[in-house]
Chain A
């Protein structure tokens, strides 16, 4: 068992535990903190795969900006404990096994997509990524700026409607 595998197992365990905690916790702020744990663990996994830029962006944008927005809204709305609703019998005895079955099916079929050994990692990931972003994918890149503009306008309009 080499060091890389140990790091992978630890990070994967943290990620799965965080995801389970997100579902089990009843208070939304605890769920949000669990999600931050998952995201940081995933950033570690990206680093392990040699995707430095994606790992940095995961920390800065996801764990930083987006989750701050979530925590901010939870505190703004003063969200309390989730109301306890009784899970219907169908949900408990059919839904949960079906969800587990879905998980197994996903793992099986997506795992089949990666036979054999991985190609050697491309050197200078960040450089190649930036070049692709501004040459091959320049149109989607510009479109995302329009998307963000529309999202800003939408958020302002929704927030302003109150008066």
Chain B
């Protein structure tokens, strides 16, 4: 059996890479994908703790995270389409006004 520690370190690495992508990328869609990567890393930690503690609560929470991610993707991508239509650009540095 692979120790839980390995899974948790992998989860931390993926989360860190998600943070790096979120901070350093310029394309708004890629930033959104970095957020999804972070959510996936958290899901991995949930499943690992669920196995480690012998309880299923963690896996239930993974469900809710996935549902929230789906809702977030639907609304977020609609917002991205609106921004792209108004600004003619996907670069976040061009989106510096809250007004559409």
A-B interaction: yes
Given A95-B23, A121-B54, verify A62-B66 contact (CB < 8 Å): yes
Chain A residue numbers with a CB within 8 Å of B81 are 73, 76-77, 158-159
Return the contact of A58 from the options B14, B66, B68 (Cβ within 8 A).
B66
- Whether A51 contacts B11 by the Cβ 8 Å rule is no
Chain B residue numbers with a CB within 8 Å of A114 are 3-5, 8, 48-49, 52
- Whether A77 contacts B26 by the Cβ 8 Å rule is no
Q: What 1/0 flags go to B23-65 for Cβ under 8 Å of A?
A: 1111101101110110010011101111111111101101110
- Whether A151 contacts B51 by the Cβ 8 Å rule is no
Return the contact of A22 from the options B21, B26, B78 (Cβ within 8 A).
B21
Return the contact of B73 from the options A22, A66, A76, A150 (Cβ within 8 A).
A66
Q: What 1/0 flags go to A129-163 for Cβ under 8 Å of B?
A: 10011001100100010011011101100110110
Q: Is residue B75 contacting chain A, with contact meaning CB distance below 8 A?
A: yes
> Chain A: interface residue count, which band?
35 or more
Of the candidates A49, A95, A113, A129, the one having the most CB atoms from chain B within 10 angstroms of its own CB is: A49
- Whether A42 contacts B5 by the Cβ 8 Å rule is no
**Size of chain B's interface in residues, with CB distance under 8 A?**
74
- Whether A22 contacts B37 by the Cβ 8 Å rule is yes
Interface positions of A from 1 to 24, Cβ below 8 Å from B: 4-5, 8, 12, 15-16, 19-20, 22-23
Chain B residue numbers with a CB within 8 Å of A121 are 51, 54
CB distance from A17 to the nearest CB of B (A): 10
- Whether B7 contacts A45 by the Cβ 8 Å rule is yes
Question: CA–CA, A100 to B12, complex, Å?
Answer: 11
- Whether B34 contacts A69 by the Cβ 8 Å rule is no
Interface positions of B from 1 to 25, Cβ below 8 Å from A: 1-21, 23-25
CB distance from B75 to the nearest CB of A (A): 5
Chain B residue numbers with a CB within 8 Å of A16 are 10, 13-14, 17
28 A-B pairs (CB sep. < 8 Å):
A8-B6, A12-B6, A23-B25, A31-B27, A31-B33, A32-B33, A35-B33, A48-B2, A49-B47, A51-B50, A51-B62, A53-B59, A54-B63, A57-B63, A73-B77, A77-B90, A99-B19, A106-B12, A111-B8, A122-B56, A125-B56, A129-B60, A136-B60, A137-B60, A140-B64, A147-B71, A151-B72, A158-B75
Cβ-closest 4 pairs across A and B: A119-B54, A103-B16, A151-B71, A107-B12
Known contacts A48-B2, A151-B74, then 10 further A-B pairs from the complex at CB < 8 Å, ordered by chain A residue = A16-B17, A22-B17, A42-B44, A70-B32, A70-B77, A103-B12, A121-B54, A132-B60, A140-B64, A147-B71
